[in-house]
Amino acid sequence: METWGYDRIEMEFGLVSELTEKLNELGADGWEVIYYSETKPAKFGEKSKAVVLIKKRRHENKKCT
C-alpha cells in the first residue's frame, strides 16, 4: 500500500516565471501539485498569491520534508 506525505504552501510572486520556477523545483524533488488557487493583486504593483497543496510518495520509515 502506498503512503503519501502532504504539504500546503503559500507563495507570493510578481512574475509567472517565479511561480513556475518554484513549482518545477518542487516537482524535481518528487512533489506533485494536487490543488492550486491563485489570488490576483488588489492594486497595481502588489504581488499575486498562490496556495498550493502538494503530495509526495513516502518511503517506508522516512518522513517527507
For residue 46, being part of any structural domain is answered with: no
pLDDT in tens, the chain (65 residues): 789 999 999 999 999 999 999 999 999 999 999 999 999 999 999 999 999 999 999 976 555 55
Tell me the C-alpha distance between 41 and 25, whole Å.
Answer: 24
Say which residue the cell 490576483 belongs to: 40
Q: Is residue 55 a part of any domain in this protein?
A: no
Q: Is 57 domain-assigned?
A: no
C-alpha closest to that of 11 among 44, 42, 37, 45 = 37
Does 62 fall in a domain?
no
Domain of 17 in residue numbering reads as 1-41
Q: Is the pTM higher than 0.85?
A: no
Domain tally, the chain: 1
Alpha helices in the chain (DSSP H): 16-28
Comparing CA positions, the residue from 38, 2, 4, 6 lying closest to residue 20 is 38
Residue 51 in any domain: the answer is no
CA distance 50 to 19: 9
* Residue 65 is assigned to a structural domain of this protein: no
Is residue 56 in some structural domain?
A: no
**Residue 1 confidence (pLDDT):** 76
